[in-house]
Every structure is written in structure tokens, then in C-alpha cells.
Amino acid sequence: MGALPVSPLLTAGLILILFWSALAPQPVRAEPPETSEALMRLQAEGDLTVRALRAWGALPERYMPMLLKLQGQGLDILGLDGKQVAALAERARTEDGLEGHRDDLQTLARLMADLGKTPPERVTKVFSGYMDEYWEAFGYNANLNPRPEFLDEYGAFSDATLKIDTQDARRIAVGMRSVEPLFHPPYAHDTHEARITLAVDPQGTSNPVLSLLAPDQLDENEGRAHAFRLALATPDEEPVKLSLTSRPGGGQNHRLAEVELDGPIPDRVTLALRPGGEVLVLDDEERLLLEVMAPDLLALEPWHVVVMASARESNTPGRLSLRSVAIAERDLLLTHDPHALVEAPTKTVLFSGEILGRHWETFAATRHAYLQYLSMHEGGLRVDAPADQGRVMAGIRSVHPLLWLDRFQGMATQDLTFHLRPEQTTGLVVALTTELGNERREPSDPFYLMHWRRDGQEGYKAHVQTRRNASLLESEPEAMPESLTFRLTPEGVRLLAPGFPDTLTPWDALASGQGLYLYVYSRAEENDAPVALALDRITLKRSPGPRMYAGVPQPGVSELPMTALFSGQEDALWDNHARSGMEFDDYARYTEAGLEVDVPASYRNSRAGIVSSERVINLDGRLDRTAYRVRLRFDPDRTDGFQVLFANDPVTGAGADAPGVSLVRHRHNRLTGKYVLELKKGRSSWFREIDAAWMGAHWDGTVDIELGEHSMQVSLPGGLSLRGTGFSISDSTRWHMTVRSMSEGGQTTSWDRMAPARMVLREIEAGWVTPMGMSAADYWELRDPDDFDPEAYLKALMSGPGSDLP
């Protein structure tokens, strides 16, 4: 059937109607059940725009006249997110044409911001001002001896409030303790935060303390053993001091943080714990007062609650006017985990602007004092340094690799986007690096670094570089951008930003499996110049490439063979090994399944295994053409953790400086339900948290460790790998090898070192990796000299590609 004739005038009319219908007020459709969560997810990922709000039918009709008027002025705000709308409202203070819309812009910005601030929560009020069977008296004297009778002496219940005043009694504590554990901290796999909130009368409260105790800490003094202790000290004529400590197991006291409050004790104080280990302290308006990371060794179990007034916090009496205690579980709309392996394009929020979280730490190059110019407020990271302070370089850096180049081949891309407030930013550095450097220095080679800064009063300069003191691309853009993107591909990196050339910069660190650290900080053009930085959000979109399988030679050509190093039985090539006063024969044995190790929790650093009696890794010139692979096979159902170390001499001690790999399943701390895979050399490490469910579905016990020139990579079945750089690996490397059990306390000094460890090692083999498309001639060139066949090699050379040899 032919097309119907349409006149040009009718066509133009239809286009005009369609254009205005897109902007004209439309009936708000009924909200589907999933709308609220969908909008919250859009906001969490930084994609909640006015257009998205309207598409979901959640934009009130009263904003439509403003949208139409601004559209008529050439200003389309449909693509703006909440922070951009708020910035536009600020412009409306002074800018002609916007002044009449300031109120609407402000309320619209608040509407968009509030969508993610009222998540569902389940609240239980465990104390309402009266003593009941859920609580018992608690207290101790100046010598830290228990004195529960102090509650009757110094406290009273009246007007639905617990009132305590220690008066002139020095260094005593008075309060109450829950009879049963009430507070349940979240595990790493949970999707909610646990909160406990104290409601007090500030006028009758000074030196209050909230303490959380494990059940096995009840017989110890609260000050000597606690999961967390939140104290508000109120010394005379001084600001209120908020401190948070942790002393699990009665061990070393960790003073996690201490801050001074700008005002009096708030009406409500909330302590919140998140699955990632973040610990937040919030006031009655949900403002962040303090943020720290929980110690990893912390055993997560239900905790008892202690609330008291303590005269030990300062030289003033302890007073408490407690109205209520509430415990809540607040749902979190979690973004995608940057450590997880992805099979399809996935967007992740790396930095939300609200808290640092578990991925970030503050950073100041050259001078720690520069941190005074850094803050978290107005929904983002802010740096504001005056002139004559040197070159202020302050910001944040990731505490572990945040970009994992999984399946980084073919059309794979990773878009790393930074959202800024250009009017508050005069100097910005963003750097990707393969290693985390010194905390007082700028990123070290190898890196990809961008510096965008104001040059004088009007102009700007920008450049990128991949090595120190060498600019690769330079530009003089007209302004600081609202957003800029690093687009990573196997060929290199492009900086996508207005005014910067769209040019590919090759970077040899971009290899599949590589983990990259991230730095964001301020830096001016000149020394002693003022500098400002306003960063709202960082997002990452990962689009993996196709699955590719290494080691596929040309048709008719065999793969390079591997040599057996260990077959699961006692062998002269290997010596038995045990640490921490253990005897190998007590906890390790050889069976039909292989080397079985089962060390109880009673041994610190429970490690037992085997150490090669000679150097089993012997590299040569073939390293220029391919990597050398060490393949280990474990029983996945009976292996909780292992460590593989390489060194010039046999490693029987801690092996802190030896390069190697460890994989541990965590069962007794906040990482319960996770495995941690770590690749390390000296103080540098690359590690990933892996869900136990993913491991159960993919891991068959095989672990491949590939040694390349100055690099090492560990891979698991299913496509997950870690790659690190800077290793002392060359064609002259000769290494011994150690394989031993490892508990969940062994990977990091902060984890519990008394955990049990099981390992069943079946076999070890090693050999050169078959290069993709290897020819028959390549095959013989890569074989060991003792196996070289001159006749077969000559025949392969003469036969050429496609020969049926070897």
C-alpha cells in the first residue's frame, strides 16, 4: 500500500501540535505500585530529572506554568536534576527573568531531594520514660566497680522521663542496661541500616553516654569492653564534644572519631550502622554530625543497650533527662556494588555527596592541615581555601580499587562521570592510578590525570597526562564544566567535556582485570592562589565486552602443556609447614582428597600447608611473548581460606613483603556472607568482596595465577579476575612457592586472627599460557628446551599456518 499524501502545511501543523502537547499540562496518571521505588532508584543513581518526575506522573501540576514560561525564555529545565534545580533557584536571587520563579524552583528542588529521604523503616520504641522488665539498673563507681544501686540514689522516673544527676560525685556512671540484646547490627549482605535514637531534654542533659555491649561483655566494665560507645562530653564553658569509640573483646581501644558541636546537645541523637560498615551519628534534623568506619574485627551479633549519665566524661556532673529510646531498621535503596562482576550495562553511584561511605577517605597532599578547608555539606564535597596557603590539594581518594576492568575487550566501555558546581569550582584534579600511593602525596605513576583550573580571573586551562611532568593534551576551555566524563576503552581514555578536544589518549594500564584507584582533589594553577571545589556526585556506567577465552591456538595446534607440581600427596618437592606453634601432623594430613588442613580457632594466624623445597617458578625470555600460569585446585566445599606466596627464599613466617594471593570466606564479622579475594605485594593490594552466592554458583575450586612482566593476575571461573602492577617479575625471576590455609583474620591486621581455617588442596600445575592464535611454530618456540623437537619445528615453519602440527 502506498503512503497517503500529506501537505507541507499539514505536516508543519502536526509537528507544532505534537511539540506543544509535550509541554502542555496533562492529567496525572495513577501511580503504579513500583513508582516510588523507581523514583528513589533514579535519584540514587543521579538520573532523577524533572522530565523523569513528570513521566512517572509525580510532578505536581502547579509547576507546569513555570516550565512553559521558562521554555518560552529559551530555558528548558526538564533535563535538570534536583541539585541543578536548586542551583537555578540560587541564580534566581539576582538574575532577571528568574526572580519570579524562585519560590517554585526552591520547592521543586526540595520535592526532588525529599524523594529519597523518607525510606520505609520499622521502628520499635524500647523505652518510653518508665522502667519495665526490659531494663535493669546499671552503674559503676570511680574504681569501675559495678554499682547498680546508684540508679535509686541519683535517678528518678517522673513525667515519663528518666532523670539522673550525679551531682558532686566524681567519675561515676549511672543509668540502665537492657536485660536482653536489643540492637541488631546489619551484615554486609543486608539492605537496611540499623538505628538507635535517644530523645532527651537538652536542658537536663550533660555528659550522656550510649553504649552497645556484646553478651560476653556484660561481666566486664562498660568502659573497657564495648562494641560502640557514643559520648557527649560537656565541659564548663567549652563546646560539646562528641566522641565515638570501639573496644570489642576488651582489646585495644579504638577512638574512631571526635568532633566539637556548633551548638548544645540535640533533642535527638541517632547512631546508625550500615551494611558496608559505615557508622553515622545524626542530630534531630538528620544532619550528619560524625561518620566513621566500623572496625572489621567487630563480631556482628545482637547487642545490649546501655544509656547513662557519666561524670567520667569531663569535670562536670553527669546528668540525663531521657524521654525515649527507639530502635529502627531503615531500608536502603542500594546502588550496584562496584566490586560485583556485571553481565550487562550497569550504572553505579560511587559517591553520592551525602557521606564518604566505605569507598572513600579524605586526602590532603603535602600537608595534613589542608583538611581544614574540606567539608561535606550542601549535598557534596566542598573545598574552600583562601590565598597564601601554599598549593592546597585536598579532596578524597578511594580506599580500594573502584573501577574493575572486567571483560575489558572488544567494545567494552566504562564511563566515569563527575558532577560539579562550576560556579564553586576553580581547580580540580581527577586521577586514576593502579596503586594507592602515600597519603601525603599526589598519585604516583602509572596514572591518568586531568587538571582543570582557572587561569587568572577569566580564563581556564585543562590538560591530561599519563606520566609525571608531561602533558599529553592541553586546552583552554571557556569555563568549568557542570559535568565531565572519562570514557575508558581498551584503546585508551577520552575526556568528554565542553571545550576539551575529543581525543583518545592511550594508557598501557588498561588491561582486563585491572583494578583502578580514584583520586579527586583541589589544585590551583599557581602556588598560594585560592582554590575551591564543589563535587556533588560520581557515577560509573560499565558496559562489558563479549566473553573471550584465552588460550585458543590456530586449528590443529595443541595448547601448551602444563607441568604437575603437586598431586595432593606428600612429595620431596614440598616441605610440610605450620605456624603459630602448631604441629603440622596435628591439623594437617594427606588423604585421597589431597592435603587436608583443619585448624581450630584456638590458634592465632591459623596457617598450615606446604613450602617448595626448591624454586618451582623459573621464568625466561618467553615472558616477552606470553604469561606464566600457576593453576591450583582446591575442594571448594571444604576450603574456607588459603594464601599463596612467592619469594626468592622459602616463606615460613608471616611473609608480609612477599607477593601473593589469598581467598577467604568470612563468617564471623561484618563481611559474613562474603569472600574476599586479594592480590598483594608489600603494602600495595588489590581486593574484591564477592558474594558467597556467586562463589557457590561459579567456583569449582580452580584458581589461576598469571605472572606477566611486572604484573600479576588472579582469575576464578565465571570471569572474575584481579590484576595488579608494579611486581618485580622479569625473565630472570626464580621463586619458591608457599600454599597454606588462612583464616578470615589473616588478610588484614584488623580482622580477628583467632578464627578457624580449613583448606583441601588437590593439585598444583604450572606452564606458559597459550597465546591467542598460536601457530605450530610458536608452539615449539614456547616449549621448554628439553622438549624442543627441531624436526617438528622446521616442519611447522615450512607448513605455515593451518598445519596439523604438533
3-state helix, strand, coil in the chain (%, to 5): 15, 40, 45
pLDDT of residue 22: 42
Average pLDDT over residues 99-109: 86
* Total residue length of the chain: 806
Beta strands 155-158 and 161-165, pairing class: antiparallel
Residues 207 and 221 in one domain: yes
Q: How far apart (Å, rounded) are the C-alpha atoms in residues 575 and 35? A: 62
**Structural domain span for residue 60:** 42-118
**Does residue 556 fall inside a structural domain?**
no
pLDDT of residue 242: 94
Q: How far apart (Å, rounded) are the C-alpha atoms in residues 464 and 496? A: 12
**Does residue 33 fall inside a structural domain?**
no
pLDDT digits (tens, 9 = 90+) for 137-172: 999 988 888 999 999 999 999 999 999 999 888 789
3-state secondary structure of 178: strand
Q: How confident is the model at residue 603 (pLDDT cuts 50, 70, 90)?
A: low
DSSP element (H, E) containing 677? strand 674-681
- Could you tell me the three cell numbers for 667? 563468617
**Does residue 136 fall inside a structural domain?**
yes
* Omega of the bond leading into 446 within 30 degrees of 0 (cis): yes
Highest mean pLDDT among 500-514, 650-664, 665-679: 500-514
Q: How far apart (Å, rounded) are the C-alpha atoms in residues 170 and 168? A: 6
**Does residue 31 fall inside a structural domain?**
no
* pLDDT > 90 in the chain, percent: 57
Specify which residues 440 forms β-bridges with: none
Q: Which residue, 178, 166, 177, 165, is CA-closest to 141?
A: 166
pLDDT at residue 29 greater than cutoff 60: no
Average pLDDT over residues 527-540: 95
Q: How far apart (Å, rounded) are the C-alpha atoms in residues 112 and 39? A: 9
Residues 737 and 761 in one domain: yes
Residue 207 CB: number of other CB atoms within 10 A? 27
Q: How far apart (Å, rounded) are the C-alpha atoms in residues 448 and 439? A: 18
Residues 387 and 285 in one domain: no
Average pLDDT over residues 729-749: 85
Q: Which of 331, 354, 371 represents a domain boundary (last residue)?
A: 331
Q: How far apart (Å, rounded) are the C-alpha atoms in residues 165 and 557? A: 86
The per-residue DSSP string of 683-695 comes to TEEEEEEEEHHHH
| Alpha helices by DSSP H, 520-640 | 584-587
Under 8 Å CB-to-CB from 14, ≥6 apart: which residues?
none
pLDDT at residue 20 greater than cutoff 60: no
Q: How far apart (Å, rounded) are the C-alpha atoms in residues 779 and 234? A: 76
Q: How far apart (Å, rounded) are the C-alpha atoms in residues 430 and 436? A: 14
- Could you tell me the three cell numbers for 552? 585458543
Q: How far apart (Å, rounded) are the C-alpha atoms in residues 693 and 594? A: 25
Residues 85 and 128 in one domain: no
**Does residue 629 fall inside a structural domain?**
yes
Q: How far apart (Å, rounded) are the C-alpha atoms in residues 356 and 257? A: 14
pLDDT digits (tens, 9 = 90+) for 50-82: 888 887 777 888 888 898 888 888 888 888 888
**Does residue 25 fall inside a structural domain?**
no
3-state secondary structure of 379: coil
Query: The CATH number of the domain where 325 resides is what?
Result: 2.60.120.200
Q: How open is the CA angle 228-231-237, to the nearest 5 degrees?
A: 165
Supply φ then ψ for residue 583, to 5 degrees: -100, 130
pLDDT of residue 746: 60
Whether 549 and 769 have beta carbons less than 8 Å apart is answered as no
Q: How far apart (Å, rounded) are the C-alpha atoms in residues 50 and 272? A: 31
Residues 590 and 617 in one domain: yes
Under 8 Å CB-to-CB from 1, ≥6 apart: which residues?
none
Average pLDDT over residues 689-709: 95
Grid cell 600479576 is found at: 712
Q: Among 468-482, 593-607, 771-785, where is mean pLDDT lowest?
A: 593-607
- DSSP assigned state of 195: E
DSSP element (H, E) containing 368? none
Q: Among 135-144, 219-228, 740-749, where is mean pLDDT lowest?
A: 740-749
Residue 241 CB: number of other CB atoms within 10 A? 17
Under 8 Å CB-to-CB from 96, ≥6 apart: which residues?
none
Q: Provide the terminal-to-terminal Cα distance of the chain, rounded to the nearest Å.
A: 63
pLDDT at residue 26 greater than cutoff 50: no
pLDDT digits (tens, 9 = 90+) for 194-214: 999 999 999 999 999 999 998
pLDDT at residue 129 greater than cutoff 80: yes
Mean pLDDT of the chain: 87
Q: How many domains does the chain have?
A: 5
**Does residue 495 fall inside a structural domain?**
yes
Residues 517 and 657 in one domain: no
Q: How far apart (Å, rounded) are the C-alpha atoms in residues 546 and 434? A: 24
Under 8 Å CB-to-CB from 551, ≥6 apart: which residues?
559, 769, 770, 771, 772
Chain-centre distance for alpha carbon 437: 17
pLDDT digits (tens, 9 = 90+) for 613-641: 999 999 999 999 999 999 999 999 999 99
pLDDT of residue 6: 40
- Could you tell me the three cell numbers for 23? 509541554
DSSP element (H, E) containing 167? none
Residues 298 and 423 in one domain: no
Supply φ then ψ for residue 681, to 5 degrees: -150, 115
Residues 626 and 479 in one domain: no
Residues 388 and 290 in one domain: no
Q: Among 22-36, 203-217, 507-521, 701-715, where is mean pLDDT lowest?
A: 22-36
- DSSP assigned state of 488: E
Whether 185 and 275 have beta carbons less than 8 Å apart is answered as no
Q: Which residue, 227, 199, 203, 201, is CA-closest to 215?
A: 227
Whether 706 and 769 have beta carbons less than 8 Å apart is answered as yes
pLDDT of residue 801: 55
Q: How far apart (Å, rounded) are the C-alpha atoms in residues 163 and 133? A: 18
3-state secondary structure of 425: coil
Residues 266 and 325 in one domain: yes
**Does residue 370 fall inside a structural domain?**
yes
Q: How far apart (Å, rounded) are the C-alpha atoms in residues 629 and 635? A: 20
The per-residue DSSP string of 702-735 comes to EEEEEEETTEEEEEETTTEEEEEE-----TT-EE
pLDDT at residue 332 greater than cutoff 70: yes
Higher per-residue confidence, 755 vs 130: 130
Side chain identity at residue 280, one-letter code: L
pLDDT at residue 35 greater than cutoff 60: no
Higher per-residue confidence, 101 vs 46: 101
Residues 620 and 597 in one domain: yes
pLDDT at residue 800 greater than cutoff 90: no
pLDDT of residue 756: 78
pTM equals 0.81
pLDDT of residue 16: 39
The per-residue DSSP string of 741-753 comes to E--TTSSSTTS-T
E strands present in 179-318: 192-200, 208-213, 226-233, 241-247, 254-260, 268-273, 278-282, 288-293, 304-310
Residues 377 and 324 in one domain: no
